[in-house]
Structure 1
């Protein structure tokens, strides 16, 4: 078992099967030594979770849980793409979208749920650049959606 799988186990996380796309796109694309992962939403074992709007009916802590679930789904896609999480060279960037009211300004704190998880799961390879953006709605009314760019180890 590799370091990342060990980290996930110690975090009590079992990766789900990679979710199929919900529209006309592919879930990931490898170009050169880069892996691009399409936006992952809060798909849990029993379907869509965290359908909410930050600043209206959801706390920052609940939003962080939603962001963490998106990050788990990013790693599931990475495993499907690469076959082995140890092929992750580093997480280069995540872009996090937060379904929020116009006056909500804590999008960075919400996306910390994903950032903190990625560093815990990937170690130093998980330190990344990022953007945290507030939007007026997301697919299926979910609280967060996150996309990722990953460098493949050479």
Structure 2
């Protein structure tokens, strides 16, 4: 495929799953992503749609597992938007290196990996072999702005 064609393919696969990459507007005092050599490290992204948190709260308390799954996928797609903004196209991704997921959860909640499995499944479905990755799923007492899930990624371009 021509450059950009694969990216549209990736974006079409995301759209088939009801997910659309937003336009990124960095209103932070730090960068949305940093590139060093052939790696891009995204900053943590919340489950924001049009700049507004779709879910707010703690998994295992006032956020259901289904909502946590959705929040994780939204946060991940926001990471992809940063990569697209930095490179011009998702076709620039040669390899997913690492995915980190932070889940605001109650002290007794131990299914953070299950929350992040939705992101791993999505990456594998959309990106195939390019999507094979290592991963971390961490529980936290709370996360910035009240988001139930925050995701960051490292990709090779």
Same fold (TM over 0.5): yes
CA RMSD of aligned residues (A): 1.4
Aligned match of 2:140: 135
Tell me, in whole angstroms, the C-alpha distance in 2 between the residues paired with 1:140 and 1:12.
24
Aligned match of 1:51: 56
Give the CA deviation at 1:86. 0.5
- Taking structure 2 as the reference length, the TM-score comes to 0.90
**Which structure shows the higher strand fraction?**
1
Aligned match of 1:122: 127
Aligned match of 1:72: 77
Aligned residues: 151
Residue by residue over 1:5-30, the C-alpha shift from the partner in whole angstroms, topping out at 9 and shown as x without a partner, is 332233333211124244x2111011
Which runs of no fewer than 5 residues in structure 1 stay unpaired? none
Residue by residue over 1:100-146, the C-alpha shift from the partner in whole angstroms, topping out at 9 and shown as x without a partner, is 11110000001112212222222221121000000001011110001
Structure 2 residue matching 1:92: 3-state secondary structure: strand
Structure 1 residue matching 2:83: 3-state secondary structure: helix
- Taking structure 1 as the reference length, the TM-score comes to 0.91
Aligned match of 2:20: 14
